[in-house]
Amino acid sequence: MGNNLLLFFGILIGIIAYVALYIGKGIQKYAIEGFKEDKTVKSKHSGIWIFGTILTASFVFIQWIPLTLFHTPMNLIAPLEGIGLITLLVFSIFFLKEKISTLELFGVILIIAGTVLINLVAVTPEELQRVALNLKAFWICLGITSGISLIAFLLVFRLSDTLTGVILGLAAGSFMAFQTLAKRITDINSLALIFTFVTFLFAILTLGFTQLALAKTRANIVIPCFTSASISLTTLLGIFVIDEIIYPIQIIGIVCIIIGIIGMNIYLSRTGEKKVAEEEASLQIDLEQDETKPKEVHN
């Protein structure tokens, strides 16, 4: 199979992996919102939620294909997560009936532009096949990330919910980056088995820290932290741990994607706060109305 064809299929399957991940998240949200509105059809909403969960979990296996079978460099795969985020936005507009703002549209354009810039670089066959693992760099990077994540976990009950959510979101995104790295290392035959188990370990840590982060603060704060950490750290790990080559135009593309992700979620965060405020105001009005109602006197 030719070099260009390898890259094409690698990038295509990488996009499918992230689309599955974020559509799965959207379906889970759709099921939860549906359950809130109508609790009488619990089995229906549970079935939808399970389908979303299966779709989300399929990401772990689909992402493996371009990284090992097609030898696609991590610095081409990781930024495709921005495409997944755009898919979630489109899903939210058509199925969750949410509106899109100018800022979100600007973020979408930046993400698409960044993805195009990253994939403009021609990758040689030697770069596709080479995985020059530097185990010392791997353990140093893992030690630093694990140490910061452990401190974040210990500070869960000491910092404000928002700050804790941000730190845990960054930690979850970092473990996502190590998950991607571990999949790429399974391309080395002698390390394939052990790093398969390592991949699942990082997948569990990613899920655990994500759930902790979401329990502390809103998804609109956690998602940009998670995605930005995942994309940027994956790129750095590719350079320092497996000697991948990155070009200046790709760095510009990654910066565009991260700015686009943050821009999209600034608006979502503001609308989320507005929605919460409206719900609290509505609840307060209902309570006041209940208090003013005349109480029935029973003989």
Question: DSSP states of 32-80 as a string?
Answer: HHHHHH-GGGHHHHHHHHHHHHHHHHHHHHHTHIIIIIS---HHHHGGG
Counting beta carbons within 10 angstroms of the beta carbon of residue 116, is it exposed (0 to 12), middle (13 to 18) or buried (19 or more)? exposed
CB of 272 closer than 8 Å to CB of 162 = no
**Position 278 in a domain:** no
**Position 298 in a domain:** no
CB atoms within 10 A of CB 109: 14
Q: CA-to-CA distance for 21 and 253, rounded, in angstroms?
A: 22
Give the distance between the most distant pair of CA atoms in the chain: 91
Q: Which of 78, 98, 118 is the last residue of a domain?
A: 98
**Position 281 in a domain:** no
**Position 187 in a domain:** yes
- For the stretch 244-291, pLDDT in tens is 777 888 888 888 888 887 776 665 555 554 554 454 455 455 555 555
Could you list the residue range(s) of the whole structural domain that residue 71 is in? 1-98
* pLDDT, position 276: 47
**Position 66 in a domain:** yes
* pLDDT, position 197: 92
- For the stretch 109-151, pLDDT in tens is 887 888 778 766 655 555 555 567 788 888 998 898 888 878 7
- Whether residue 84 is found in the same domain as residue 124: no
Residue 9's contacts (CB-CB under 8 Å, 6 or more residues apart) are 1, 66, 70
